[in-house]
Structure 1
Amino acid sequence: MFPHERLPLAERYAGLLATEGVVRGLIGPREAPRLWDRHLLNCAVLGELLPQDATVCDIGSGAGLPGLVVAIARPDLQVTLVEPLLRRTTFLEEVVAELELDNVTVVRGRADALHGIQVFDVVTSRAVAPLERLLQWSMPLVAPVGALVAMKGASVHDEIEAAQKTLRALRCATPEVSLLGESLLDSPTSALRVAWADPGEVSWPPAPTSPGSRKRGPGRTSSTRRRRR
């Protein structure tokens, strides 16, 4: 899951999580002994769904899961960690500096602060919110040919069912659920991928709807297309 030359970085990150991460309340004390199987390896397999040389935005990054892990495992990726809490972004910045991760940027703020400003090939998250809310935060950051890729639990199919109205309103493609690391992990990672149904009609912000015109979903017009940045 980690290239040979990147494994020492993963080990140093695990050490920081087990020490500073616990002291600062970012990781529970009981999580420290099982950091590798429950957190690092669990997140690293997400790289299977990330395209080569992609730009990745990890929203609600917390202690860097999964954003920092995939940035360590995949140096070809350009990863932006978005986290609103100062104590968390301080920790993230310290880890990035200590490990000299030149493919990582830390942004303190909410995901919606980037809406209409920046887009990414992939928007990742882990245990941030139910799918209905996650779509509203994430999809405006997804490039036309990009995707939301979220780590989810056993209730993923229930979340998809509950989010049907939002999926239709945003004009998303049918969600895809994958089990990652089945041959490597005792508990495989469940990952949800959501792309746009029609990349040609992705835009931000939405154009006003004139009387009598066909109503479009949030953030969509046929005449204004979002550019990849």
Structure 2
Amino acid sequence: MHDESPDLASTETDPWDGDPRLADYFDQAWPAVLAFHDLLVQEGELRGLIGPRELTRLWERHLLNSAAAVRFLPETGLIVDVGSGAGLPGVVVAAMRPHAQVMLVEPMERRVSWLNDVVQATGLTNVEVRRARAQELDGAVEADAVTARAVAALDKLYRWTAPLVRDGGSVVAMKGARADEELIVAAKAMRAVGLVDGKVHETVTIPGTEPTRVVTAVRRVRGVR
């Protein structure tokens, strides 16, 4: 006799689906963010971008989590999202910062194809998808801010991303529970690449969600000590 019980991950739903607070929070970005969410539901698992259990927590764990970084980003200029993968946080950033130009940087061809499909489906006009590694863009871009989510430990991430940021620009990384420890470990790397003022921020998007840890650092203006 075999177990015919259904896979729980396939029958559960995201508790945030249909919550009116989502549309209120995302405001003018809501149509694009909702279209992105729906595309992740329809194709994310099939295309190897998210696991089946993530479908029941897309809003809080991924989309609202990504949105938490937006308050630390400029409203205009160039924002480069490295290791974009499924488009988190870059697509959410582009939707919520419509007057900025957002470059989604991703080395894997199948993910680049996905990101191009997302841009088309969401109707976002302020997005460029670039197939590359962050290290390959040194000297090719000068960003006002660089974002990263689940890409690498901070010491390594800073070596990859600081060369892409203009003087006075920032690196905004989304991190987990060990963010403070990572920042301490990264102190030497920060000094070496000209980053200062490293801070860990715990920020909440909608009351009731888990706080997101966002680590910010600023590219020192050369010639200023």
What TM-score do you get using the length of structure 1 for normalisation?
0.83
Aligned residue pairs total: 201
Give the match for residue 26 of structure 2: 2
Structure 2 counterpart of 1:67, which letter?
A: G
Give the match for residue 145 of structure 1: 168
1:64-115 CA distances to partner (integer Å, 9 max, x unpaired)?
0000011112212210000000110100001101222110000011011110
Unaligned runs of 5+ in 2: 1-24
Q: Is residue 2:200 matched to residue 1:200?
A: no
Q: Is residue 2:101 matched to residue 1:78?
A: yes
Given the superposition, is the C-alpha separation of residues 183 and 69 from structure 1 closer, same or farther in structure 2, using an over 3 Å criterion?
Answer: closer
Equivalent residues in 2 for 1:48-127 (5 A)?
48-127=71-150
1:24 to 43, 47, 50: 47
Equivalent residues in 2 for 1:144-163 (5 A)?
144-163=167-186
4+ residue stretches of structure 1 with deviation over 3 A? none
State how far apart, in whole Å, the 1-side matches of 2:75 and 2:95 are. Answer: 14
Higher mean displacement: 109-118 or 165-174: 165-174
1:106-163 CA distances to partner (integer Å, 9 max, x unpaired)?
0011011110111100000001000110001110001101000000111111111211
Contact 1:176 1:192 in 2 (8 A): yes
1:171-227 CA distances to partner (integer Å, 9 max, x unpaired)?
321301111126635211100001123x1349xxxxxxxxxxxxxxxxxxxxxxxxx
What TM-score do you get using the length of structure 2 for normalisation?
0.85
Between the aligned residues of both structures, percent identity stands at 44
Give the match for residue 221 of structure 1: none
Output the aligned Cα RMSD: 1.7
Structure 1 counterpart of 2:222, which letter?
A: G
1:181 to 190, 204, 213: 204
State how far apart, in whole Å, the 1-side matches of 2:208 and 2:175 are. Answer: 16
Contact 2:67 2:205 in 1 (8 A): no
- By how many angstroms is 1:18 displaced? 1.2
1:168 to 182, 187, 191: 191
